[in-house]
Amino acid sequence: MNKLRLIMQFTYSAVAVVASAADFDITVTDRAIVQRCVTSNEARNIAVGMPGGFNFTFDPVRCRLDTVWFGEFLDYRGEATGRGGGKLQILGVKQLVGTEELPVRIGDAEREPKTIRFEGYRKEPATGIPTFLFRVDGVAIEQRVLSFGSDQVTIELHFPNDNHPHCYYRMDPVAVASVDVNENLRISDRGVMQIPPGENWAQIRLRLMPSQEKFVRQKPTTNGQLLYALHCMSCHTLDGKKKIGPSFADLWTKERIVMRDGQNETVVADEHYIRESILQPQAAIVQGYENANRMVDIRKTLNDEQIDALVKFLMQKKP
């Protein structure tokens, strides 16, 4: 009975919920799951289970990332049996990412915001990954949270309106071991990142204090589109718009000039070139992108099968 109810509640989002002998674990398959719930702290949070074993809760009152954990998603037992006061257990080691205060500041890095308004979230159709929409002191902000490995969290902030004032994002040195931001942003030694007016994109990579347990990737996904969304989309669009790297819309339609061993060379994309661009991104640098943020060594995160799936996904875009 309970199992049935559980399954019925979830089938609408086309997510496979595994309510097996392994009880009431909500298991993420190849789409993100978004679940309103009460986790161990008392707040009513939004829990997100990402494919690949990265999970987090977002606090819609303070509009901030609350907790992350690596492992499985949630144990639904409390809710399903009516015991446990509706609280859901997270299935992993909880890691905090910051203090109680809201990390975003508008106009003045030291002044707490007067108004915070949560406006919901939007799901990427292909992957189910949510983008949270909110306003801090009237400034519209869109936030995505991703992870590329254990103890790493990437927060992407998008400011859809160009005319915002100086905005700030404050790191908490207690939870965060180190921070990287994209090159157009500055960060002070106190961990305050500045987003100047007109800048509408901020990528903040937090390295958290390591947790005691090891990160276990449950079931690495081999869905090429999903891998693209998780690992490439922040720099490469599919619709022709330029982000940090060239759009994949141009991959098959344009020749490009690359710098290889100090020599310019004209290249037409083929499987070999795509594979090389992923595995040795520095081997041939596309003209015009010499100073762009570099691609990471994806072999540290993805296995061979996943890289094959990505290459296949890009090959399928060939007209």
Q: Does residue number 281 form part of the binding site for ligand HEC (CB under 6 A)?
A: yes
The structure tokens listed for 143 are 């936030």
Q: Which of 244, 249, 252, 315 is the binder for ligand HEC (CB under 6 A)?
A: 244
Q: Which of 289, 305, 317, 319 is the binder for ligand HEC (CB under 6 A)?
A: 289
Q: Which of 67, 95, 127, 234 is the binder for ligand HEC (CB under 6 A)?
A: 234
Footprint on residues 187-216 left by ligand HEC (CB under 6 A): none
- The closest of 123, 178, 181 to 157, measured between CA atoms, is 181
- The closest of 52, 43, 44 to 72, measured between CA atoms, is 52
Q: Which of 39, 274, 306, 309 is the binder for ligand HEC (CB under 6 A)?
A: 274
Could you tell me the smallest distance in angstroms from the CB atom of residue 19 to ligand HEC? 34
Q: Which of 31, 77, 144, 256 is the binder for ligand HEC (CB under 6 A)?
A: 256
Closer residue to ligand HEC (CB): 78 or 246: 246
- The closest of 169, 172, 164 to 193, measured between CA atoms, is 169
Amino acid in the structure at residue 272: H
- The closest of 18, 128, 31 to 75, measured between CA atoms, is 18
Q: Are 274 and 283 in contact (CB under 8 A)?
A: no
Q: Which of 80, 236, 306, 309 is the binder for ligand HEC (CB under 6 A)?
A: 236
Closer residue to ligand HEC (CB): 176 or 314: 314
Q: Which residues of 166-184 are buried (b: 16+ CB within 10 A; e: fewer)?
A: ebbbbbeeebbeeeebbee
Q: Does residue number 149 form part of the binding site for ligand HEC (CB under 6 A)?
A: no
Closer residue to ligand HEC (CB): 57 or 234: 234
Q: Which of 109, 175, 286, 315 is the binder for ligand HEC (CB under 6 A)?
A: 286
Q: What is the rounded distance in angstroms from the CA atom of residue 217 to the CA atom of residue 125? A: 24
Residue 298 class from Cβ within 10 Å (0-12 exposed, 13-18 middle, 19+ buried)? middle
How many residues belong to the chain? 319
Q: Are 164 and 137 in contact (CB under 8 A)?
A: no
Q: Does residue number 293 form part of the binding site for ligand HEC (CB under 6 A)?
A: yes
Residue 309: how many other CB atoms lie within 10 Å: 20
Amino acid in the structure at residue 226: L
Q: Does residue number 238 form part of the binding site for ligand HEC (CB under 6 A)?
A: no
Amino acid in the structure at residue 83: R
Spacing of C-alpha 78 from chain mean position:
28
Contact region with ligand HEC (CB under 6 A), list: 73-81, 118-126, 130-138, 283-291:
283-291
Q: Which of 310, 312, 315, 316 is the binder for ligand HEC (CB under 6 A)?
A: 310
Closer residue to ligand HEC (CB): 179 or 285: 285
Angle (CA) 122 127 128, round 5° = 40
Contact region with ligand HEC (CB under 6 A), list: 9-17, 50-58, 72-80, 278-286:
278-286
Could you tell me the smallest distance in angstroms from the CB atom of residue 129 to ligand HEC? 15
The alpha carbon dihedral of 39, 145, 309, 225 has a sign of: positive
Q: Which of 139, 176, 208, 232 is the binder for ligand HEC (CB under 6 A)?
A: 232
Q: Which of 139, 246, 306, 309 is the binder for ligand HEC (CB under 6 A)?
A: 246
Q: Which of 175, 179, 292, 315 is the binder for ligand HEC (CB under 6 A)?
A: 292
Could you tell me the smallest distance in angstroms from the CB atom of residue 292 to ligand HEC? 3
User: Where along the sequence are the contacts to ligand HEC (CB under 6 A)?
Assistant: 231-232, 234-236, 244-246, 250-251, 256, 274, 277-278, 281, 285-286, 289, 292-293, 295, 298, 310
